[in-house]
Structure 1
Amino acid sequence: MADTALDITGLSHSYGDLHVLEDISLRVGKGEFVSIVGPSGSGKSTLFHLIGGLLTPATGTIGIDGAHANGRRGLIGYMPQAPALLPWRTIEDNVVLAREIGGAPKRGTRPQARDWLAKVGLDGFARSYPHELSGGMQQRVAFLRALLAGRDLICLDEPFSALDAMLRAEMHRWLLDIWEQDRRSILFVTHNIEEALLLSDTVYVFTRRPATVLERVEVPFERPRRAEVVDDPTFVRLRRRLTDLLTASPR
């Protein structure tokens, strides 16, 4: 479908006798922010490896921008839990890494990288090295690297899990502001229910392993979304609903 960035149907995967995913179906619309929440070890990271083409599913199909994508690499932007910046490369060099690997000309990518560094509050840090930046700043660089990979779909694998509560809240605000400007399609994995509801248009709740989709929840709040929405009675009810689903998750 032209309005779908990611379309997964009947996806299952195992590691030998360990059955990890079972009949997963989900979609991410163009410009949509979708989150997945589920118990630890429920296969959320495995799902990202399948979407990114690092693994080929046992059964089911993955469609990216309307094209069959099972086992195909290089179709998504990806941000892991840790920033994973190369310490010997400058911040600018880290930002353009994905484009560089893809063969994009340096003449066009470096000015774009510097423009985006300025937009995210890192103007003047292009020639710095990762160890000179704080954890939150490194996360911004990692997100820009995924953003500038030039793919319409970006997968974010618990990118804020290692940050303290104050910095995490700051990163939420920052991510929403940047996403409002660019509106890429995002699939976001998190263990944090409040984070999922604050950021997302749709939340998929996974069961325990072997994981399947327990429920799909549409988040009704308007955008641009502000931090105060967490006090809205509807937000509180949804947070309780998702907490109850995860607590009672079968298997």
Structure 2
Amino acid sequence: MLAKCLRRCAFVVTVLATAPAFSAEPPDRATESAQELARAKAHEGLKLYGADRWQEAFEAFQEADRLYHAPTLVLYMARCQRKLGKLTDARALYEQVLAEPLPDDAPPAFLDARRDAEVELDAVRAALAPPAAAAPPPAAPAPAGADRGGGSLLPAGLAFGLGAVGLGVGAVTGILSLSRVSDLKAQCDGRRCPAALQGEADAATTLGHVSTASFLVGAASAAAGVVLLVLRPGGDPAPDAAGAARRAPRGVAWSAGVGIGRIELQATF
């Protein structure tokens, strides 16, 4: 490979002895001494290039091109810059080779240099292109039960409300019943009471029953509220562990009833 490069560069410098120079402001013909110096610098640069001494090779090619310009020398300058990691400078030199006009009778080495520069420039441009935006990371799977519907708190709220009303009514009616019983005892002689107080006695008894029933209803409703708070009727079932498609939520019908001393809670699936 190195011998091939040496032959090509020597051929190029030799050809330039009989062809117009390509420098920006060349003389009509390069002097014989300039040609010899350029040839020597080109050989030196190729040896350094083959020894992986890129910076020294670049300087040798640059000096040779200053003495006698040739596209092949610029091509090797670009290659040195590319090896040194100076891709922006290498790109500019490759583009210089491609932009340089060639005469109709240009040496084959110049045409080869242009073709090589075109191929190598594509690789340099690709290396300089900004990296494509990274794809966003996949969304983390939702934790088990995250899609599960929370269900309604309304039934529990109603049950707690009914329990509060029951306990409140029980407390008030209980106080009234005790107050009337106390008044009746004050008007009776031991266990014997006047017949006129029978109505008051019946009213006190009724208040006592209402108080007892209200306390029972309140307590039962509060217990039902706790159950409904835990179950939350109307929620969606959680998907199974295998990740099967979510089934359509099944209907759940709830009914509750209360009475004196009892509460009924029923669910239909």
What interval of TM-score do these two structures reach, taking the shorter chain for normalisation? under 0.3
The TM-score with structure 2 as length reference comes to 0.21
The structure whose Rg is larger is 2
Structure with higher strand content: 1
The TM-score with structure 1 as length reference comes to 0.22
> Greater relative contact order (Cα 8 A, min sep 6): structure 1 or 2?
1
Structure with higher helix content: 2
